Copies of this chain bind each other. A is one copy, B any other.
């Protein structure tokens, strides 16, 4: 079970030096957010509490369908999105737990 008020899962980056496993994991999350197209896709989905359909995203980011598919897969693999099929469509939602580590790391600012 997971309460709404759970503490940050990592100390802020000013509090302790990252060990190697933590660096590796966090680098994955940041890598997923390190491409402008992926950031924009993530943003398009995050801005909607109900999530968004992959079919709506080719236009806004101005990339081919395979490229969009590739990026969405990367975001999901990093634990930043969850995927659900609804008939012919795939719906994505932000996975907030995936973001939490990265966010708590930067909490010092």
Contact = CB atoms under 8 A, between A and B. Distances in A.
Interface string A1-38: 00000000000011111101001101100110111111
A40 B23 contact: yes
A39 interface: yes
B27 A35 contact: yes
* Chain A contact surface mostly: helix
Range class of the A interface residue count? 35 or more
Interface of A: 13-18, 20, 23-24, 26-27, 30-31, 33-40, 42-44, 46-47, 49, 94, 96, 99-100, 102-103, 106-109
20 contacts: A13-B46, A14-B46, A14-B94, A16-B43, A20-B40, A23-B39, A23-B40, A26-B33, A27-B33, A27-B39, A30-B33, A31-B35, A33-B34, A96-B108, A96-B109, A99-B109, A100-B109, A103-B103, A103-B106, A103-B109
